[in-house]
């Protein structure tokens, strides 16, 4: 049987890993030099609030914590579910919010009316491209199929070397357990190398998540039109 050769993967938080030619920092100063640290975070979360009150409490605490840390929220632009809760919390605490929403969802009147910086895109993919370009790191809170899609895709883009931005899963009340089990199953069945587990971090609370965001450097990524 031929030997199995796994791709070289960048461990989570490893800034020595290479990204493709043309990679650009998510943030730069007026001279074009990269600004260290995390200044803008994309949050993936549900358009429903979920059955466990811990989910809404976590979204509220994260929004307040981001505002207090001076970190801009980048999110899907909705006013409902956990999306609306985290945005409301940032705004209530005087923080900055960028919403990115496709035209067809805006027409369904789920766009957040309180978010002044609201970008309308022509597709779901262009929404992801804009959120990717605007963010130094990514956070996944509880959510449904859309949240799972966004989380897996951003991890996959990191595996493919398209970026080295931090990806953090917040395991609120065990909400990340099924996703982690699916990744473990892919590894155990030989469809992914064990090193994929190093592409993201897992934290069990919002305070731990905010602490990691304060400690981690921001990352770089390819231009969004290459995604």
Q: How do the residues of the chain divide into helix, strand and coil, expressed in percent and rounded to 5?
A: 40, 15, 40
Residue 99 vs residues 23, 83, 118, 226: alpha-carbon distances, Å: 24, 10, 5, 22
pLDDT the model gives residue 18: 46
Question: Which conformational region is residue 212 in: left (phi greater than 0), alpha (psi within -120 to 50 degrees), or beta?
Answer: alpha
Answer yes or no: is pLDDT of 16 > 60: no
Q: What is the pLDDT of residues 60-77, one digit of tens each?
A: 999 999 999 999 999 999
Per-domain residue ranges for the chain?
A: 37-215
Query: pTM, whole model, 2 decimals?
Result: 0.86
Residue range 77-108, pLDDT digits in tens: 999 999 999 999 999 999 999 999 999 998 77
Spatial separation of the C-alpha atoms in residues 169 and 3, rounded to whole Å: 33
pLDDT at residue 178, as a whole number: 97
Q: For 110, how many CA atoms within 13 A lie in the half-sphere containing its CB?
A: 18
Beta-carbon-side half-sphere exposure of residue 4 (alpha carbons within 13 Å): 6
pLDDT tens digits, one per residue of 110-136:
999 999 899 999 999 999 999 999 999
Confidence of residue 19 (pLDDT cuts 50, 70, 90): very low
In this predicted structure, the answer to whether residue 53 has a pLDDT above a threshold of 70 is: yes
Q: Residues 187-206: pLDDT tens digits?
A: 999 999 999 999 999 999 99
13 pLDDT band, cuts 50/70/90, is low
Helix (H, G, I), strand (E, B) or coil at 141: coil
Q: Is CATH 3.40.800.20 what the domain over 37-215 is classified as, yes or no?
A: no
Instruction: Check residue 61 and give its pLDDT.
Output: 98
pLDDT at 35: 55
pLDDT digits (tens, 9 = 90+) for 135-184: 999 999 999 999 999 999 999 999 999 999 999 999 999 999 999 999 99
- CA–CA gap between residue 33 and residue 100 (Å, rounded): 26
Would you call 19 helix, strand, or coil by DSSP? coil
- The pLDDT of residue 11: 52
């Amino acid at each position: 049987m031929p030997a199995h050769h796994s791709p070289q993967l960048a461990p989570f938080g490893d800034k020595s890993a290479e990204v493709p030619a043309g990679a650009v920092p998510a943030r730069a100063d007026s001279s074009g030099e990269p600004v260290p640290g995390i200044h803008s975070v994309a949050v993936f979360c549900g358009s429903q609030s979920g059955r466990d009150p811990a989910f809404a409490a976590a979204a509220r605490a994260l929004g307040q914590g981001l505002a207090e840390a001076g970190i801009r929220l980048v999110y899907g632009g909705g006013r409902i579910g956990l999306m609306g809760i985290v945005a409301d919390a940032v705004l209530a605490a005087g923080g900055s919010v960028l919403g990115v929403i496709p035209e067809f969802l805006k027409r369904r009147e789920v766009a957040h009316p309180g978010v002044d910086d609201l970008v309308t895109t022509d597709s779901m993919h262009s929404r992801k491209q804009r959120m990717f370009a605007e963010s130094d790191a990514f956070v996944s809170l509880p959510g449904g199929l859309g949240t799972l899609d966004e989380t897996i895709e951003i991890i996959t883009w990191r595996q493919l070397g398209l970026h080295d931005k931090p990806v953090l899963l917040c395991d609120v009340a065990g909400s990340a357990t099924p996703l982690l089990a699916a990744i473990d199953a892919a590894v155990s069945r030989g469809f992914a190398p064990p090193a994929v587990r190093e592409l993201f971090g897992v934290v069990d609370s919002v305070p731990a998540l905010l602490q990691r965001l304060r400690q981690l450097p921001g990352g770089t990524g390819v231009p969004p039109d290459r995604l």
